[in-house]
């Protein structure tokens, strides 16, 4: 994972965020949907960074769609993103995480892998609701998750407390955290890495993502090599009821192949689920920020 920014303390900012989390945690769900739609409209109206980044990414990744369909996906994606904060607040602050989970697909294969004494390495992406996915994993398994600590020290405490109400253990994305993940997988547990995050240059390779070179982490392969775990992909996808379906897909990954081929295959699996649910992908994430030849960042106009 990329080396995070220096962790600092910002009590005033953290107090505001904590207050917002508490307010969103008690907000009726229909208001959360309204906030998401409002966020999308305001983003389009003022041409926010989230809006312009989403448009750029969709033009790159889904060029064959009509302009009307692209615009619809931009709005749907931003509305989905706008709901995530209120949903995360509810999952973190309340004890009714199960109410967000509807159908679960692929769970029996995960259980079969664990029954063989092998660890399960989960990859995920900025699609659906990552917090619901984390809740699911922590509520069912002895679960360890790698993350990038936020800049504010107090927010680190808020996030970890919210995510660690069950058997979840959060580990920082550094060398010590990697070793922790490897050891937990060797012990036959479950661990997760958000694999569509852009790593540092030395921790990734450039391989196609929707046909465009994207700096892609090699960490998943390295962890699999050293732990002998089986790799799965997870996504918590919003359904028509407003709850989420958990999708678990086993990935047939050979850890001994050349790292470019491995990283490309990871991206291909991510592409497959994004193409199924494009409106639920966080297109506002600057996935192509780092360029292979050092050319201008495409998100800077």
Task: Answer yes or no: is 2 within a domain.
Answer: no
Task: Answer yes or no: is 4 within a domain.
Answer: no
Task: Answer yes or no: is 295 within a domain.
Answer: no
pLDDT of residue 6: 54
Task: Answer yes or no: is 191 within a domain.
Answer: yes
Q: Along the 301 residues of the chain, how does pLDDT read in single tens digits?
A: 544 555 566 677 778 878 888 888 888 888 989 999 999 999 999 999 999 999 999 999 999 999 999 999 999 999 999 999 889 888 888 767 899 999 999 999 999 999 999 999 999 999 999 999 999 999 999 999 998 776 666 676 777 777 777 888 988 888 899 999 999 999 999 999 999 888 988 899 999 999 999 999 999 999 999 999 999 999 999 999 999 999 999 999 999 999 999 999 999 999 999 999 999 999 999 999 999 888 888 997 6
Q: Which residue has the tokens 């009726």?
A: 28
Task: Answer yes or no: is 235 within a domain.
Answer: yes
Domain count, the chain: 1
Task: Answer yes or no: is 271 within a domain.
Answer: yes
Task: Answer yes or no: is 296 within a domain.
Answer: no
Task: Answer yes or no: is 300 within a domain.
Answer: no
Residues of the domain holding 91: 11-280
């Amino acid at each position: 994972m990329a080396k995070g920014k220096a962790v600092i303390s910002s009590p005033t900012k953290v107090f505001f965020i904590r207050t917002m989390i508490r307010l969103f945690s008690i907000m009726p769900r229909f208001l959360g949907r309204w906030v998401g739609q409002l966020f999308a409209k305001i983003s389009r109206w003022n041409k926010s960074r989230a809006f312009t980044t989403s448009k750029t990414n969709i033009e790159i990744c889904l060029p064959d769609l009509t302009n009307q369909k692209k615009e619809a996906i931009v709005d749907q994606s931003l509305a989905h993103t706008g709901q995530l904060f209120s949903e995360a607040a509810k999952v973190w602050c309340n004890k009714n995480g199960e109410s967000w989970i509807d159908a679960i697909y692929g769970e029996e294969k995960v259980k079969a892998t664990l029954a063989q004494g092998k660890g399960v390495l989960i990859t995920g992406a900025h699609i659906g609701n990552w917090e619901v996915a984390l809740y699911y994993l922590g509520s069912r398994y002895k679960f360890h998750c790698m993350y990038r600590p936020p800049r504010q020290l107090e927010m680190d405490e808020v996030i970890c407390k919210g995510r660690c109400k069950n058997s979840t253990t959060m580990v920082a994305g550094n060398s010590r955290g990697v070793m922790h993940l490897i050891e937990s997988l060797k012990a036959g547990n479950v661990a997760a890495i958000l694999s569509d995050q852009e790593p540092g240059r030395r921790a990734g390779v450039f391989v196609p993502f929707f046909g465009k070179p994207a700096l892609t982490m090699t960490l998943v392969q390295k962890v699999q090599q050293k732990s002998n775990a089986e790799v799965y992909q997870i996504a918590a996808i919003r359904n028509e009821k407003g709850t989420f379906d958990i999708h678990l897909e086993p990935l047939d990954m050979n850890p001994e192949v050349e790292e470019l081929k491995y990283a490309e295959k990871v991206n291909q699996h991510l592409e497959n689920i994004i193409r199924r649910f494009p409106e639920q992908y966080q297109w506002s994430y600057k996935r192509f920020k780092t360029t292979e030849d050092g050319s201008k960042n495409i998100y800077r106009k």
